[in-house]
Structure 1
Amino acid sequence: MGVWGKKPAAPTPYDLVWGDGVVPSILFGMTALFMVLHPILRTMFPRTMRARGAFLLAFELSCLFPLAYCAYEGYTTWTTGLGAFTTAKARLYATSPGAVRVLQAHLAFEAWDFGVSFFNKTLRAPEMLAHHALAALLCYWALTMPYMHYYAVYFMGVAEISSVPLVLVDAGKYYPDVSKRFPGSTSRYGRTASRSSPRVTSRRSTPGTSPRACSSRTSSSARCRCCGRGSWREGCTTCLRRKPRPGRTRPRRSPTWTRRNASELKRESPR
């Protein structure tokens, strides 16, 4: 009861999201970390790739900390803090301090990720922007209604455990030198994370989409130079393209092409 026997006013959405200062603190911390890392990393990259390389790596490192925090809070709440969710109704409408912490951190992360992605062509893919916007909207609704805190602990917290190794996968995708230096690390972490997170399909590159895949292969090498795994009689395990048989420098030409150009080649040949 408040003053003069009146009930205190219900908290507004602003109070539930911004009142305790958690969301602004995370947003400010991620921005400050990015602004510190970006100029430092620019000095570590070659001049030809400073803008793109430093931005992406600073972005990945800035996202690592809120993802790790969401994973930690989600795991601890999921294992020890679900005492209030004993009935089906409680799982829909009951509140949990651990779920609130997870939702606030995830809301700040998705909002920051959405805004920063507009400054880089690699990050502002339409599907990724839609993912960040919808995830932030779900966190906002769960905090202000409140609604489904029981499920938010798992999907916004526990599921982010797989996002921590995905930072290594992205580092291997954006910087091929990392993959060449540690050839088994990024692929192993990618296979492990793909079993538990559907986001891997949108964050990692799709084999065969690069127009320069397998451009450096030669007939004298036993394995493909772009992936180092596929043999000549098999398909390349990276670009999934058929290789020519040993001893052939290029694939066999079709009979149609040969007949069409036979007369021209005969006329051009010296007598």
Structure 2
Amino acid sequence: MVTVRKQDNLQNGKIPILPAVLTGASMMHATFMFLQTQVPSWNAAEEFCLHATEDCLRPDLMAFQCISGMVFMVCTILGIYAWYGTRSCHLSSQRLFAQLPVAQWLTLWNLTYQIWDFGISFVIPEFTQPILLAHHAAAATVAYAALRYNMLGYYAIFFMGLSEISSVFLVVIDLGRYIPPESGTYYDMLVHQVCAPLFVVTFFYYRVILWWYPITVNLLKDVSDGLKKSKSPHWVMYLLLLLDIPMGFLQLYWMALIVQTLQSQMS
């Protein structure tokens, strides 16, 4: 029988979850406000203009992309460190219940970002879509439950770490969509010649191939075993499956759209 101790703190009480999340989210928002108000912004694409003025500036979009880029960089570094460096996440037979420090930090970082992203979405018109808000709420719920009940160590490293590698490049691509680069500039080269191909490769490898095997295959087995043997809340495991499988198909759909875009550009 696997017994999972409920806890409010990381590392045996050294880091309280709620104060850590509130502090982190406050720092993210303070950085966002500084970037939005103090850093000069370039002209945005016409479709993202909120007002009919000669200078179409969207410092909010630029600031948001900067915050997201920093968050995903931390996720990527921690994920690569745990997956390819220490490899501690591969050694445990209890992938759902192993207490991995890196996974706990990743989960705390992700929870902080999801809460901040949920709040900031209400002041950026492009991000007020119900599906995005639902995603933030679901992701934050899973992250909090993972911290609360010491769960998802191996899977936290993949979903909140490795799978965000492609997001680093997507942040730059989206920034180029919001604030188009001038042809021939270093910014243009970074968006189209560096980040675009790296995004396609990393998305296909981490969010299509690895997402389904070994991650989803292992998850189905581990959840099945956990439901039979674990005293931890079953709703957390069901929620993880409820998110993982539909999101896996969504990755396939997005990959199909990426392929269509590449084909149209090459024709």
Name the TM-score class by shorter chain.
0.5 to 0.7
C-alpha displacement of 1:129: 2.1
1:96 to 72, 95, 100: 100
Q: Aligned partner of 1:160: which letter?
A: E
- Equivalent residue, structure 1, for 2:82: 77
Matched residues in 2 for 1:122 and 1:200: separation? 24
C-alpha displacement of 1:86: 2.9
C-alpha displacement of 1:51: 7.7
Correspondence list, 1:113-262, <5 A: 113-178=117-182, 181=185, 182-188=187-193, 189-197=195-203, 237=265
* Mapped pair 1:61 → 2:66: yes
Q: TM-score, normalised by structure 2?
A: 0.62
C-alpha displacement of 1:85: 5.0
Whichever of the two has the greater Rg, that structure is 1
Q: Aligned partner of 1:125: which letter?
A: Q
RMSD: 3.7
2:35 to 34, 37, 40: 37
126-135 vs 144-153, which deviates more? 126-135
Contact 1:114 1:133 in 2 (8 A): yes
Is the alpha carbon distance of 1:179 and 1:138 closer, same or farther for their aligned partners in structure 2, counting shifts above 3 Å? farther
Q: Aligned partner of 1:191: which letter?
A: P
Q: TM-score, normalised by structure 1?
A: 0.61
Contact 1:70 1:157 in 2 (8 A): yes
Matched residues in 1 for 2:80 and 2:201: separation? 18
Contact 2:110 2:140 in 1 (8 A): yes
Q: The residue matched to 2:127 in structure 1 has which SS?
A: coil
Contact 1:172 1:179 in 2 (8 A): no
How many corresponding residue pairs?
Answer: 202
- Equivalent residue, structure 1, for 2:21: 23
Q: The residue matched to 1:91 in structure 2 has which SS?
A: coil
Is the alpha carbon distance of 1:11 and 1:67 closer, same or farther for their aligned partners in structure 2, counting shifts above 3 Å? same
Matched residues in 1 for 2:184 and 2:265: separation? 16
Is the alpha carbon distance of 1:157 and 1:10 closer, same or farther for their aligned partners in structure 2, counting shifts above 3 Å? closer
Q: The residue matched to 1:118 in structure 2 has which SS?
A: helix
Matched residues in 1 for 2:116 and 2:34: separation? 16
Contact 1:194 1:200 in 2 (8 A): no
Contact 1:17 1:144 in 2 (8 A): no
Which fold has the larger relative contact order, with Cα–Cα distance below 8 Å and residues 6 or more apart in sequence? 2
- Equivalent residue, structure 2, for 1:3: none
Contact 1:103 1:139 in 2 (8 A): yes
Gaps of 5+ in 2: 45-50, 208-250
Contact 2:122 2:128 in 1 (8 A): yes
172-181 vs 130-139, which deviates more? 172-181
- Equivalent residue, structure 1, for 2:112: 108
Higher helix fraction (1 or 2): 2
- Equivalent residue, structure 1, for 2:246: none
Contact 2:89 2:153 in 1 (8 A): no
User: After superposition, what is the alpha-carbon deviation per residue over 1:106-139, rounded to whole angstroms, capped at 9, x for unaligned?
Assistant: 1111111111011111122233222222222221
Matched residues in 2 for 1:159 and 1:86: separation? 20
Contact 1:166 1:200 in 2 (8 A): no
